[in-house]
Structure 1
Amino acid sequence: MAAMMLKRTISFATSKVTHSHFRACSSFSSSAATAGNPAPAPPQLPPFDYQPRPYNGPLVDEVLAKRQKFLGPSLFYYYQKPLNLVEGKMQFLYDDTGRRYLDAFAGIVTVSCGHCHPEVVNAIIEQSKLLQHTTTIYLNHAIGDFAEELASKMPGNLKVVYFVNSGSEANELAMLMARLYTGNLGMISLRNAYHGGSSGTIGLTALNTWKYPIPEGEIQHVINPDPYRGVFGADANSYAREVQDHIDYGTSGKVAGFIAETIQGVGGAVELAPGYLKLVYDIVHKAGGVTIADEVQTAFGRTGSHYWGFETQGVIPDIVTMAKGIGNGLPMGAVVTTPEIASVMAQKVQLNTFGGNPVCSAGGLAVLRVLDKEKCQAHCADVGSHMLERLRSLQQRYDIIGDVRGRGLMVGVEFVTDQKEKTPAKAETNVLHEKLRELGVLVGKGGMHGNVFRIKPPMCFTKDDADFLVDALDYSLSKL
């Protein structure tokens, strides 16, 4: 039944894509046919000097059957026929048949240095041979070394580090800190935001796809400063006035804190209106609150222009949360704040059994050093600007591309069926997603309607990889 429904969806999507959506493609096809030229060949993956190991494990059907039997039914997977991935190397992944794919989603923006980067793997192995786990009730140099290196990357007085195991945990802890430090309860986050799936961070999240009907407790969502879809366009002042109105009319006049991603990840790579955070941070501070930057996806140079996403808005938050790229795949997260805010946690005993685990700390330290050594931030700026330029050129040829946005290697491509109304092209996006996989490109999807391609690859992604991705998208669009 599911397969039949998907086939109907694909058929519907194909039938709904009109010639007006693909003028350039249609004219190309017509002229090619008139000239009697053969159809263009699909683009080929860039060469890569690596041979995956022979795989003798279970194949996709067996893996899927076991997953469906023993894992929670809330899990979902991409593609009509899910991929069984068994090996990874830098920006590439391999399935159980040995086929290579260009990973342009990095395990949901988590693989920063590259899959199985040798220096990170070696650090993990060497620490595992010595000591896999103690906890913070004992001393071990690994957690301190990692915290020192991480703090050295932070601006201002952001010098105290708490290690946790995920972005959700990091945002939970940041919210707790804000409430304890200010003595207020009310939290403000943005619509279209994603801050985690735990019972507390579900309240901060503002996309109904990810929310269960449970009490959210003193959390309100203000209008999203989205330059493409937002009611005020890119006018940061109008969005900021709405935050002030919310505080004036919807609270006691005091709040605990405000949290935002600088570029919304799950929401579809939406970069906030320029200057927005500076205005809102001032408003929140006057209301007695603290400011929290969710850097789970935007940190460690991914944006290219800056090491931290919040720096693109010219602000320094009171609390910064991070995860994903911090460990290149290790289950890690962190909260960094000022000594003053950190002191409130000393009211009680605060412990995270696995936060700062020696193996994770050694791996995380290796990640930071690799990112510096390989100049990944500058590389993201160079490759990202090249890819954005090519994607925007593609946008001029296909009406279905409503918006191309982002910076560095955090890019979004939004598909619409109507440029003026910005009607989400959800079915067409699904077709394109499948087509890219067939060509060997893995991208994410995001936004309320799932009509945005999230292109956020490992930071070792090259210009050749970017060209292949854009060529594959061009080819897929031409075949709709």
Structure 2
Amino acid sequence: MPPCKVQPEEYKGMSKERMMEIRRTNCNPVTMKITYYKRPVNIHQGYMQWLWDVDGNRYLDLFAGVATVSVGHCHPKVAAAAANQLQKLWHTTNIYMNSPFHEYCEKLASHLPDPLKVIYLTNSGSEANDLAMLMARLHTGNFDIITFRGSYHGGTQQTMGLTANSSYKYPVATSAGCTTAVCPDVFRGPWGGSHCRDSPVQTIRECSCAQGHCMANEQYIGQLKETFATSLPSQIAAFFGEPIQGMGGAVQYPKNYLKEAYKLVRERGGVCIADEVQTGFGRTGSHFWGFQGHDVIPDMVTMAKGIGNGFPMGALVTTPEIAASFAKAFHFNTFGGNPLACTVASSVLDTIREDGTQQNSLHVGTYLMTELAKLRDKYEIVGDVRGKGLQIGVEMVKDKASRDPLPTTAMSEIFEDIKDMGVLVGKGGVYGQTFRIQPPMCITKEDVDFFLAVFNKAVHGYMDRQ
């Protein structure tokens, strides 16, 4: 394991047994289901890309609290900014004027292209997406919203209508008017080829498309047109799309797909919404925002997670025109624009620039994907490696011919072994078949080499046991 200059404090808190007892008795019971491991990890302390458990074991964190810790756990610059603000003002409200709120709004707006300049601060990505649904319907005067199968846009009753993964849905009425289209997944979907996506690693699928032409893109756009023709009225409110699906397993679409989809949506009176909750703030490496890699400008951008490096915060950014149509009633958010949250988020933007984390995402992420592709070629059960920057998915399969998902039990075996060797990764995909790698953007090539050795050993060990 690569060295770390920080030594964790000795843990003197609650016992693991007592924590588990409280989790069973007093906590949301779903937390028992989502405790990832047979032997749960009890986190005590973090620093940059490292986490320590209560027993003093160190882990390389390649999941970042679900792509949330952007610049590093307890980053010294961000921690110092937060501590300084804590001594001045924790909370007021945007009924009053305070400098952190206004300074942050101006700074965030400077990172977005025109005309995306009006900012609504929220507490989470779900809240930002919920707000975007309301604004789109009010602005367009239409009701229906379209998104992709396999998407995740939040857990509120309204955003659950957008979320197209049964694991996150309850048998109750959610937002009406939400329609899902076929996800243009060039690995698992019906169409795909050898140079479809904007990634340093392409699929194992063959195609005879000439350079600059993509049969898969044409087929998936055809499916979208069919959805418009059969499942939606002539006028719609909005299209939601993650530039790269997060919970769906780092799924990427064919090049130019979003550009053509945006055109079709706007022809039907709808606005285009980019959900940048996981892809924003330089994570894709080549650009600050994921949508920029698709050469499109959305009408709204929603964001959270990396915006505050783990501090609970979200935002929606839109155009003056859409904002004006939303001013028909009072929209108020008690904690949105909290001065402490704005100070933290402002420091995160500064740190991304000062530390070069976007550039690091590009260089280290490309290296990681390229090396993972070698393991894909080595093992029959490693079906696909994809992503951009440090938004990476490794899809596991029974075999490459069928591309059927590797069973949950097998995924869990490999997952547990990776953890036991000192690395934390995530899981995703509709069938839980994809390892998600979305680390703090400060990881190094040395860290990557350590993970590659661990992943290779875990997969090899599983194959040997079969």
1:192 aligns with 2:150: yes
**Counterpart residue number, 1:74:** 30
**Counterpart residue number, 2:361:** 380
* Distance in 1 between residues matched to 2:244 and 2:230, nearest whole Å: 28
The equivalent position to 2:447 in structure 1, one of 465, 473, 476, is 465
Structure 1 counterpart of 2:440, one-letter code: P
- The answer as to whether partners of 1:60 and 1:82 remain within 8 angstroms in 2 is no
Listed as ranges, the matches of 1:211-290 within 5 Å are 211-215=169-173, 216-233=175-192, 234=196, 235-290=216-271
**Counterpart residue number, 2:348:** 367
Q: Deviations over 1:50-92 (max 9, x none)?
A: 1111110012211111111111112221100111101000000
The equivalent position to 2:2 in structure 1, one of 46, 49, 52, is 46
1:112 aligns with 2:70: yes
* Distance in 2 between residues matched to 1:251 and 1:457, nearest whole Å: 38
- Unaligned runs of 5+ residues in structure 2 are 197-215
**Counterpart residue number, 1:121:** 79
* Distance in 2 between residues matched to 1:446 and 1:155, nearest whole Å: 31
1:437 aligns with 2:396: no
Deviation at 1:150, TM superposition (A): 0.4
**Counterpart residue number, 2:457:** 475
Q: Which structure would you say has the larger Rg?
A: 1
The equivalent position to 1:316 in structure 2, one of 276, 297, 305, is 297
**Counterpart residue number, 2:202:** none
Deviation at 1:214, TM superposition (A): 2.0
Listed as ranges, the matches of 1:134-213 within 5 Å are 134-213=92-171
Q: Deviations over 1:393-442 (max 9, x none)?
A: 11111111000111111111111112111111122211110000100000
- The answer as to whether partners of 1:168 and 1:201 remain within 8 angstroms in 2 is yes
- The answer as to whether partners of 2:23 and 2:29 remain within 8 angstroms in 1 is no
- The answer as to whether partners of 1:237 and 1:279 remain within 8 angstroms in 2 is no
Deviation at 1:341, TM superposition (A): 0.4
**Counterpart residue number, 1:306:** 287
3-state DSSP of counterpart to 1:226: coil
- Please tell me the root mean square deviation across aligned C-alpha atoms, in Å: 0.9
Deviation at 1:241, TM superposition (A): 2.3
Deviation at 1:381, TM superposition (A): 0.6
3-state DSSP of counterpart to 1:346: coil
* Distance in 2 between residues matched to 1:272 and 1:57, nearest whole Å: 46
- The answer as to whether partners of 1:192 and 1:207 remain within 8 angstroms in 2 is yes
3-state DSSP of counterpart to 2:85: helix
3-state DSSP of counterpart to 1:271: coil
**229-238 or 394-403, which moves further after superposition?**
229-238
1:61 aligns with 2:43: no
* Distance in 2 between residues matched to 1:257 and 1:213, nearest whole Å: 25
- The answer as to whether partners of 1:60 and 1:83 remain within 8 angstroms in 2 is no
Deviation at 1:98, TM superposition (A): 1.0
Q: Number of residue pairs matched?
A: 436
**Counterpart residue number, 1:26:** none
Q: Deviations over 1:347-396 (max 9, x none)?
A: 00000100110000000000000001111111111101111111001111
**419-428 or 442-451, which moves further after superposition?**
419-428
* Distance in 2 between residues matched to 1:383 and 1:398, nearest whole Å: 23
**346-355 or 56-65, which moves further after superposition?**
56-65
- The answer as to whether partners of 1:247 and 1:254 remain within 8 angstroms in 2 is no
* Distance in 2 between residues matched to 1:453 and 1:249, nearest whole Å: 35
Structure 2 counterpart of 1:382, one-letter code: H
**Counterpart residue number, 2:209:** none
Q: Deviations over 1:277-325 (max 9, x none)?
A: 0000000000000000000000011011111001111100000000000
TM-score by length of 1: 0.90
Structure 2 counterpart of 1:455, one-letter code: I
Deviation at 1:164, TM superposition (A): 0.2
**Counterpart residue number, 2:201:** none
**Counterpart residue number, 2:277:** 296
The equivalent position to 1:341 in structure 2, one of 309, 314, 322, is 322
* Distance in 1 between residues matched to 2:234 and 2:223, nearest whole Å: 14
Structure 2 counterpart of 1:349, one-letter code: F
3-state DSSP of counterpart to 1:145: helix
- The answer as to whether partners of 2:395 and 2:434 remain within 8 angstroms in 1 is yes
- The answer as to whether partners of 2:243 and 2:276 remain within 8 angstroms in 1 is yes
Instruction: Give identity over the alignment, percent.
Output: 46
- The answer as to whether partners of 1:404 and 1:411 remain within 8 angstroms in 2 is yes
TM-score by length of 2: 0.92
Deviation at 1:232, TM superposition (A): 2.5
* Distance in 1 between residues matched to 2:134 and 2:191, nearest whole Å: 32
The equivalent position to 2:429 in structure 1, one of 442, 447, 462, is 447
